[in-house]
Structure 1
Amino acid sequence: MDRVEQQQQLGRALEQVKLPAGILIRAWAEEDFPAIQRLSQAEGWTSPSQRSADSLRAWQNSWPALVALKNDAVVGFVRALTDGAITMYIADLLVDVHTRNAGIGRTLLETCHQLYPTTRLDLLAADGSRAFYEACGYRLMHDGMRKSYI
């Protein structure tokens, strides 16, 4: 799917979503990457800074890849991968600590769902975010596995 098709798909999805006051959601752009790195670093996520080129390539190859803006500043993001039919994997979801509890994370997830309404959303969650995901209707799955090579 090319960028124009993604924008059209996103426009249709956003018609189904109620945005929090003062928040705009749009497809990420490469000029957003420094803000994504800053937010990630503040959260203690090291890959976007320590593996900058790989992380940028991951963003370039992901869809949906969205940012949430407040006053033209990136205050949140979601990066996902999907087969378009059954599964969407949420690889990254983060909202700036100063704008949390305003519905931004929930809205980013809802937008992903509206982009591909037949898919289930799967993700790995840190212990500190478990209550958030449960409040969004996610359930704990005990059979997840991961192996890192770097």
Structure 2
Amino acid sequence: MDNQTRQDKIAAALREITLPVGIEIRSWNEADFTAIQRMSSVEGWTSPIQRSTDALLAWQQSWPALVAVKDEMVVGFVRGLTDGAMTTYIADLAVDQQLRGKGIGRALLDVCHFLYPTARLDLLAEENAREFYGACGFRTLSDGMRKSYVK
């Protein structure tokens, strides 16, 4: 999908939701990666720092890949993978800890959902995030499974 088509899809999705005051949501760009790494590190997610080349490649090849911006600073992000019809998998979602509870995370998820309204949103969540996802309309199906990369 070309960049213009993505921008058009984001604009259409944004018309379906109300953004928190002062927040803009847009496609990520490589200049945002340092902020994504910083926010990931705060969450204890080591891959974007320890495997920065792989993490950057993951962002480059993912869609939807969006950032929330306030006063020209990235304050949240979401990275997903989709087939465009049935499933959008949310791989990463984070919001600056000082701005949580203001609707930024929900807005990022809502944009992802309105990009592909026939697709369900699937994700794995840490225990401390389950209340947030439940408030956003998600339900717990199972604990999920993961096998890490081979070194």
TM bin, normalised by shorter chain, reads over 0.9
Residues 71-113 of structure 1 show CA distances to partners (whole Å, capped at 9, x for unaligned) of 0100000000000000000000000001000000000000000
Q: Secondary structure at the match of 1:59?
A: helix
Partner of 2:107: 107
By how many angstroms is 1:21 displaced? Answer: 0.4
Equivalence map 1:15-94=2 (5 Å): 15-94=15-94
**What is the DSSP-based 3-state SS (H/G/I as helix, E as strand, rest coil) of the residue aligned with 2:113?**
helix
Partner of 1:147: 147
The C-alpha deviation readout for 1:44-85, integer Å capped at 9, x for no partner, is: 111100000000000000000000001010000000000000
Deviation, 1:142, is 1.4
TM-superposed CA distance for 1:145, in Å, is 1.6
Measure, in 2, the Cα distance between the counterparts of 1:51 and 1:126: 21
* Distance change in 2, residues 1:106/1:147 (3 Å): same
CA positional deviation for 1:43: 1.0
Distance across 2 between alignment mates of 1:77 and 1:48 = 13
Equivalenced residues, count = 150
Task: Render the CA deviation track for 1:111-146: whole Å, top value 9, x for unaligned.
Answer: 000000000000000011010001111111116221
Give me the whole-angstrom Cα distance separating, in 2, the residues matched to 1:94 and 1:59: 14
Letter of the structure 2 residue corresponding to residue 36 of structure 1: I
TM-score of the pair, normalised by structure 2: 0.97
Cα 1:116–1:46 change in 2 (3 A) is same
Write out per-residue CA displacement over residues 1-37 of structure 1, whole angstroms, 9 at most, x where no aligned residue. 0111101111111111100000000000010000000
User: Separation in 1 of the partners of 2:8 and 2:17?
Assistant: 15
Between the aligned residues of both structures, percent identity stands at 63
- Structure 2 spans left out of the alignment, 5+ residues: none
Question: How far did residue 149 of structure 1 move?
Answer: 2.0
Gaps of 5+ in 1: none
Question: Distance between the aligned counterparts of 2:149 and 2:55, measured in 1?
Answer: 15
Q: Give the TM-score normalised by the residue count of structure 1.
A: 0.98
